[in-house]
Amino acid sequence: MLDFVNDYSEGAHEKILQRLLETNMEKLSGYGTDQYCESAKQKIREACECPEADIYFLVGGTQTNATVIDALLEQYEGVVSADTGHISTHEAGAIEASAHKVLAIPHKNGKVTAKAVKQYFADFYADGNHEHMVFPGMVYISHPTEYGTLYSKKELEELSIVCHEYDAPLYLDGARLGYGLVSEENDVTLADIASLCDAFYIGGTKVGTLCGEAVVFPKNNAPKHFMTIIKQHGALLAKGRLLGVQFDTLFTDDLYLTISKNAIKTANTLKEALKEKGYTFYIDSPTNQIFLVLEDERLKQLEEEAAVSFWKKADDNHTIIRLATSWATKEEEIKALIEIL
Amino acid sequence: MLDFVNDYSEGAHEKILQRLLETNMEKLSGYGTDQYCESAKQKIREACECPEADIYFLVGGTQTNATVIDALLEQYEGVVSADTGHISTHEAGAIEASAHKVLAIPHKNGKVTAKAVKQYFADFYADGNHEHMVFPGMVYISHPTEYGTLYSKKELEELSIVCHEYDAPLYLDGARLGYGLVSEENDVTLADIASLCDAFYIGGTKVGTLCGEAVVFPKNNAPKHFMTIIKQHGALLAKGRLLGVQFDTLFTDDLYLTISKNAIKTANTLKEALKEKGYTFYIDSPTNQIFLVLEDERLKQLEEEAAVSFWKKADDNHTIIRLATSWATKEEEIKALIEIL
Amino acid sequence: MLDFVNDYSEGAHEKILQRLLETNMEKLSGYGTDQYCESAKQKIREACECPEADIYFLVGGTQTNATVIDALLEQYEGVVSADTGHISTHEAGAIEASAHKVLAIPHKNGKVTAKAVKQYFADFYADGNHEHMVFPGMVYISHPTEYGTLYSKKELEELSIVCHEYDAPLYLDGARLGYGLVSEENDVTLADIASLCDAFYIGGTKVGTLCGEAVVFPKNNAPKHFMTIIKQHGALLAKGRLLGVQFDTLFTDDLYLTISKNAIKTANTLKEALKEKGYTFYIDSPTNQIFLVLEDERLKQLEEEAAVSFWKKADDNHTIIRLATSWATKEEEIKALIEIL
Amino acid sequence: MLDFVNDYSEGAHEKILQRLLETNMEKLSGYGTDQYCESAKQKIREACECPEADIYFLVGGTQTNATVIDALLEQYEGVVSADTGHISTHEAGAIEASAHKVLAIPHKNGKVTAKAVKQYFADFYADGNHEHMVFPGMVYISHPTEYGTLYSKKELEELSIVCHEYDAPLYLDGARLGYGLVSEENDVTLADIASLCDAFYIGGTKVGTLCGEAVVFPKNNAPKHFMTIIKQHGALLAKGRLLGVQFDTLFTDDLYLTISKNAIKTANTLKEALKEKGYTFYIDSPTNQIFLVLEDERLKQLEEEAAVSFWKKADDNHTIIRLATSWATKEEEIKALIEIL
């Protein structure tokens, strides 16, 4: 049975597991104070070209979003996000559980525009009653987005300008960042992100690790006592080495980008074939997620041979599905899927 | 200077102040356990035709919404509301501050439809990922709405059916309930509301009291230890008598409805005159709030003689304003305003 | 039946009610922006000799504590308090409900000592694991305390020094402040408190108003957007006039202190008589609360003629009760009680 | 350099890493729905002799405590704990961050007694003001405790009786459970714990895994929608396999108890030697943590050759340190340490 359900179906990249094995019996200090965490941070600082960056390793994406957003906001502030943003839809209210409102604005292909964000801030401060409202305190974006789309460098620059105009940190959720960075459509580097955002995370879980997300505050701007905030959110791993070793490996010899390319290459092969066969795409995604509109009858047949992800109903007879490739997808899997389709 | 800014510009109805004066030096027990609270509860039970109702007196509207909603929801649940609902816009994130998400759906004239609510629930449970989402745990409506509009009895019945189908309490915010009950367009009684809703509050602040809202759980269905929850929300008044005496007076000899009628009568007079003069209404409100579209030039003149409430810009040259009447509005104020307009 | 249960059994002082009556039909702006709030603030600034003070009116004590403490603390901080402090015992977890821990330390007659507070901070920072612990972020004291005791000026000065040493605001809960200020044992003025504390509140509910507490940030040091924080806590009264008029009256012609004296005078008369009769006091309180140890048999008789407050069991045959006087207590009530006792 | 700082200095037991390696490239479903999680749950059910148990895998201890406690408590309830309990001291306020108070009672050797707990409940309900207080809603214990001590079966039975009397779940934090189960002093089995507690967790992080704690609700009594609550707390691992494979291995062929024995055996060897040499113990711990009182001069020498954990100062010239053994401690390390000491 083929499986294109998501990009976290396998364990870790073999080099990562290998390093965990090699370092396993070393006695290391806890809570991220070990040498592998330190080495990983240094390599990430270099990759981001921000030697002053504060870096922390957390375990998962929802946890990371909740912790960072809670740390960046004042109690009277909320976080502006596309209405399709992960924090707005699929995190079980984790942001609200730490008492902050998600201020959702309509998305465009999963993205927010600088114009819409600027309008939101302007409308807020123009409202005579704004002291009775939740202050927009920061902006959340995901890159790639939940629809696999990407911000251009110009779009990020514009967002950054608006955010700084309103003194609101710009935070980028990079759960699938690797897949964005190596997409052919992408014109944004890690250094650009570090320069334009006030905080972001480099996702490991979906790009080759067993778990782990690296939070970067690029300008030596981590919130005060952030380690305690991490602990309070239940996000401080005792054996921080598990994260340190993984990210140290991921940022050695460009492994992060190298394995990311596999996801894009296999996705592109698949997309080409599907285009040729005349399939309809729900959205044109340049990364590792492919959104397809299928007749329900056709879907039923497909599901006998391949597991895919249900997205939503398109109409009474059609369904939108998602096919995800990853660092682990094999060419033969793609071939097999193309044959079926 | 005339003043139509809102419906809480004056103090309390004179009969209420009078009763406060008469009972002032009686020694009474605290926290709502006094005889006036008890008497007020009994009169409200009669007015609502629900002898089994649990009734509590809180101080203000936002506080009441936050306390009731927090008490009714489980931690994994949010509250469905029109995107124009007070809890969604003008309560400074009080709902989120107690860790619950407001699940906003598009309004129709300030209202939600049973159909839209049903669709929201159906979509939620149809989503394979719904365990990663905030469960819709209750439905919030306001009556009259923030736009002065009213639910018909039929609409309430339909909402009630959907709510019960999904085991979600229906909660009605009655900050201006009196003004709704006596509107000519209204076909809903207090008894209907008590029968169709699982919780609601009868607003005092905007209908004749100095402060105070009466929360009604009509079916003996107050949340367990609700008094402690009130206390935890900082909403338990030591001198509960202040609320008890006011509501006892308000529900003696139909005072609540009698004084509400004044707001509707004066609003109707005003609306008639405005229609005759050819003014444009932003929305057709059957209660005490009138939404008017004015040329900016015209507004400037008006503001020299009457204070009104800015609502929002209609376009570059026009502004929407709100004129509010109340239990305290005098016929001569209306006449004077009509002359100016 | 006599009643010494508490100091909030009556309504408001007659002058306050009178002013509410006189100003009742004036049209005033909402949410504390009216002229009476402004006037009251000015008079309080004068009484506190701090012309730069930021002042806000809230409705009740628990609400005020929860709002101020939440506003002053960072998310990784808790509030140091005597284990007998109101926030630690009788506020239904309102502090924790806004996500902050009460860091309780042992009381001495209801008070904390500068030495104990200093030790707490020193121990905290000496602990190698303190990043895994709740940071002590401010100090809460009540004056008079829950046992009716008072801080001396010297004690307050010492606390203030420790607090500033650790950059932790000192916050004074003045629910019964008036009764402390006029006690013969007291050597602290409002100006002292304004000079030594970073925030405090002047209690109205227990000293002559229907409701209301005046929060003072004496050094123009209100937390940013404090009005929004008040709103978020459900503590913003629409008819702010209710609080403004009451405090304006309370701070006209020294009414606050004048009526406070009545409580102390009647309490002193009662204490003298009880001492003469050989009664045992649980604690020596210099203010309006008297804690008495009674044989259970004796208590039973007393309760047939006078309502008192059960405090706790002293032993198998004795009970500690509290007798409270107030601004409203009459000499003849005291006489009657002495006769019974 | 020797290292006895803690019991989480190494990675995972080799069999666990081996299984992670073997299963690494299998495509598995996410969020704990894979076959290894299922198999691990089944084995744990067998080990606990509770075939009806609901089992969930979380990542770390603080996270697990915060999630379970938040799920078990109503909003007006707090959790009773020894004042030395981990949740009360070293979790950065994670319990309060989800709005619940830790109701600390004095410990005895790190434990609470049934008598003290019963008294706490009795006093609470005897207090006339208890509706203004935080309701004790559950009881938290750790086994072994933070001092390495153990509850006897009798003590657990008594606690269980009190808890059920007051309808309060008994929750056991088993961060180091394995080390307790195999101690010679222990008379409690996993089946006893499953029978006497309403919830508990079997700690992996400190007993052989890279991370992971297995939460057991032994009577099919998981809180409703517990998975969503886990997600909301940021505690749901995408690659649930990481936890499933580890616990599946840990509960195959008794690995959990087998490797736990190593910690106890090495600790016992060390304790014997220390006793012979006349060292003073701060507390008599029957598990893998040894608390030693050392002269400061002696400690300085020791620290040149072995890393140990500072606990607290005993007096001006003495310090209490903790030496921890674990599943990974080698006999030769113990020998070397004994020689130094």
Query: Are the Cβ atoms of B100 and A101 closer than 8 angstroms?
Result: no
B90, B92, B133 ranked by CB distance to A89: nearest:
B133
Q: How many residue pairs bridge chain C and chain D with CB atoms within 8 Å of each other?
A: 57
Name every chain B residue with its beta carbon within 8 A of the beta carbon of A88: none
Collapsing DSSP to helix, strand or coil, C306 comes out as strand
Nearest residue in A to D229, CA atom = A92
Nearest residue in C to D75, CA atom = C97
Given a contact as 3+ CB pairs under 8 Å, which chains touch B?
A, C, D
Look at the pTM and tell me if it is higher than 0.90: yes
Confidence grade of residue A128 (pLDDT, cut at 50, 70, 90): confident
**Structural domain containing residue D175:** 25-253
D160: in domain: yes
Token pair 């465009």 in the structure block, residue: A108
Q: Which pLDDT belongs to residue A201?
A: 98
What distance in Å separates residue A100's CA from the closest CA in chain D?
13
pLDDT value at A127 more than 90? no
Query: Are the Cβ atoms of C96 and D78 closer than 8 angstroms?
Result: yes
Task: Render A212-239 in DSSP notation, one character per residue.
Answer: -EEEEETTS-PPTTHHHHHHHTT---SS
The CA-to-CA distance between both ends of chain B, in Å, stands at 14
A75, A96, A132 ranked by CB distance to B101: nearest:
A96
- Taking only the tens place, the pLDDT of each residue in A163-180 is 999 999 999 999 999 999
Collapsing DSSP to helix, strand or coil, C113 comes out as coil
What distance in Å separates residue D64's CA from the closest CA in chain A?
8
Name every chain C residue with its beta carbon within 8 A of the beta carbon of A227: 131
Q: Which pLDDT belongs to residue D325?
A: 98
| Among A119, A122, A139, residue whose Cα is nearest residue A130 | A122
- Taking only the tens place, the pLDDT of each residue in D264-293 is 999 999 999 999 999 999 999 999 999 999
- Taking only the tens place, the pLDDT of each residue in B315-332 is 999 999 999 999 999 999
A176: in domain: yes
Confidence grade of residue C205 (pLDDT, cut at 50, 70, 90): very high
- Taking only the tens place, the pLDDT of each residue in D79-127 is 999 999 999 999 999 999 999 999 999 999 999 999 999 999 999 999 8
Name every chain A residue with its beta carbon within 8 A of the beta carbon of B92: 76, 131-134
Query: Are the Cβ atoms of B90 and A132 closer than 8 angstroms?
Result: yes
Task: Render B9-31 in DSSP notation, one character per residue.
Answer: SS---HHHHHHHHHHTTS---ST
C153 & C263 share domain: no
Name every chain A residue with its beta carbon within 8 A of the beta carbon of C236: 132
What is the Cα gyration radius of chain A?
20
Could you say which of B200, B226, B253 is where a domain stops? B253
Confidence grade of residue B341 (pLDDT, cut at 50, 70, 90): confident
- Taking only the tens place, the pLDDT of each residue in C119-160 is 999 999 998 899 999 999 999 999 999 999 999 999 999 999
- Taking only the tens place, the pLDDT of each residue in A70-99 is 999 999 999 999 999 999 999 999 999 999
Confidence grade of residue D243 (pLDDT, cut at 50, 70, 90): very high
Nearest residue in C to A233, CA atom = C76
Q: How far apart are CA B338 and CA B323, in angstroms?
A: 12
A8, A97, A234 ranked by CB distance to D60: nearest:
A234
Query: Are the Cβ atoms of A228 and C99 closer than 8 angstroms?
Result: no
A205 & A227 share domain: yes
Q: How many residue pairs bridge chain B and chain D with CB atoms within 8 Å of each other?
A: 43
A17: in domain: no
CA distances from B162 to A236, B113, B138, B156 (A): 43, 10, 11, 10
Residue A156 near residue A187 (C-beta atoms within 8 A): no
Query: Are the Cβ atoms of C92 and D129 closer than 8 angstroms?
Result: no
Which residues are bridge partners to D318 per DSSP?
D295
Nearest residue in D to B232, CA atom = D76
C-alpha A74: how far from its chain's center? Answer: 24
Query: Are the Cβ atoms of A24 and D10 closer than 8 angstroms?
Result: yes
D15: in domain: no
Could you say which of A188, A220, A253 is where a domain stops? A253
Q: Which pLDDT belongs to residue B127?
A: 86
Nearest residue in D to B131, CA atom = D228
Q: Which pLDDT belongs to residue D128?
A: 85
Q: Which pLDDT belongs to residue C127?
A: 86
Q: How far apart are CA D288 and CA D7, in angstroms?
A: 8
pLDDT value at B234 more than 90? yes
Q: Helix (H) and strand (E) counts for chain A? A: 14, 13
A197 & A326 share domain: no
Name every chain A residue with its beta carbon within 8 A of the beta carbon of C224: 74
C50 & C74 share domain: yes
Q: How far apart are CA D227 and CA D233, in angstroms?
A: 10
Residue C324 near residue C309 (C-beta atoms within 8 A): yes
CATH of the domain at A80: 3.40.640.10
Q: How far apart are CA D327 and CA D288, in angstroms?
A: 10
Centre a 10 Å sphere on the Cβ of residue C279 and count the other Cβ atoms it contains.
15
Query: Are the Cβ atoms of D93 and C76 closer than 8 angstroms?
Result: yes
User: What's the complex ipTM?
Assistant: 0.97
**Tally of domains within chain B:** 2
Instruction: Report strand pairing: A309-313 vs A318-324.
Output: antiparallel
Name every chain C residue with its beta carbon within 8 A of the beta carbon of A224: 74
The arithmetic mean of pLDDT across residues C81-108, rounded, is 98
Collapsing DSSP to helix, strand or coil, D26 comes out as coil
What is the Cα gyration radius of chain B?
20
Nearest residue in D to B135, CA atom = D228
Name every chain B residue with its beta carbon within 8 A of the beta carbon of C173: none
pLDDT value at D341 more than 90? no
Q: Which pLDDT belongs to residue D13?
A: 98
What strands lie across the sheet with A309-313, from one edge to the other? A280-283, A289-295, A318-324, A309-313
D334 & D317 share domain: yes
Nearest residue in D to B101, CA atom = D232
What strands lie across the sheet with B199-203, from one edge to the other? B54-58, B213-217, B199-203, B170-174, B135-142, B77-82, B102-105
Query: Can you read off the two tokens belonging to residue C246?
Result: 């009451």
Q: Where are the alpha helices (DSSP H) in chain C?
A: 14-23, 35-48, 61-72, 86-89, 94-97, 114-126, 153-165, 177-181, 190-196, 226-232, 241-250, 255-276, 296-305, 331-340
D165 & D309 share domain: no
Query: Can you read off the two tokens belonging to residue D48?
Result: 């606990």
C203 & C296 share domain: no
**What mean pLDDT is reported for chain C?**
97
B304 & B227 share domain: no
Name every chain B residue with its beta carbon within 8 A of the beta carbon of D224: 74
| Among D139, D211, D126, D131, residue whose Cα is nearest residue D170 | D139
- Which of A86, A91, A96 best tests the B interface by mutation, with the highest count of B CBs <10 A? A96
Residue B263 near residue B9 (C-beta atoms within 8 A): no
Name every chain A residue with its beta carbon within 8 A of the beta carbon of C227: 131
Q: How far apart are CA C209 and CA C16, in angstroms?
A: 7
Question: 3-state DSSP: chain A helix, strand, coil percent, rounded to 5?
Answer: 40, 20, 40
Q: Would you list which residues of chain D are within 8 Å, Cβ to Cβ, of chain B?
A: 70-71, 74-76, 98-99, 131-133, 135, 224-225, 227-229, 231-232, 236
Query: Are the Cβ atoms of D133 and C75 closer than 8 angstroms?
Result: no
- Report the amino acid identity of residue A207: V
C-alpha B302: how far from its chain's center? Answer: 28
Q: How many residue pairs bridge chain A and chain C with CB atoms within 8 Å of each other?
A: 43
Name every chain B residue with its beta carbon within 8 A of the beta carbon of C26: 10-11
Residue A141 near residue A157 (C-beta atoms within 8 A): no
What is the Cα gyration radius of chain C?
20
Name every chain B residue with its beta carbon within 8 A of the beta carbon of C232: 91-94, 97
Q: How far apart are CA A170 and CA B205, in angstroms?
A: 41
Query: Are the Cβ atoms of B239 and C14 closer than 8 angstroms?
Result: no
C27, C93, C237 ranked by CB distance to B232: nearest:
C93
Residue D64 near residue D230 (C-beta atoms within 8 A): no
pLDDT value at B142 more than 90? yes
A248 & A261 share domain: no
Helix orientation angle between C255-276 and C241-250, rounded to the nearest 10 degrees: 70
Query: Are the Cβ atoms of A228 and C132 closer than 8 angstroms?
Result: yes
Q: Which residues are CB-contacts of C161 (< 8 A; sequence separation ≥ 6)?
A: C114
Token pair 């007879």 in the structure block, residue: A317
A90, A99, A128 ranked by CB distance to B97: nearest:
A99
Query: Are the Cβ atoms of D10 and A29 closer than 8 angstroms?
Result: no
Query: Can you read off the two tokens belonging to residue B8?
Result: 């809480």
| Among C105, C22, C4, C2, residue whose Cα is nearest residue C310 | C4
CATH of the domain at A300: 3.90.1150.10
C143 & C288 share domain: no
A69: in domain: yes
A39 & A150 share domain: yes
Name every chain D residue with its beta carbon within 8 A of the beta carbon of B125: none
What distance in Å separates residue C136's CA from the closest CA in chain B?
22
Q: Give A130's DSSP letter.
A: G
Between CA B255 and CA B92, with CA B212 as vertex, the angle to 5 degrees is: 135
Token pair 């409705």 in the structure block, residue: C59
Q: How far apart are CA A94 and CA C163, in angstroms?
A: 35
**H or E, element range at D194:** helix D190-196
Query: Can you read off the two tokens belonging to residue A99?
Result: 């008492």
The arithmetic mean of pLDDT across residues C213-220, rounded, is 98
Could you say which of B222, B253, B284 is where a domain stops? B253
Name every chain D residue with its beta carbon within 8 A of the beta carbon of A308: none
C267 & C239 share domain: no
Length reported for chain A: 341
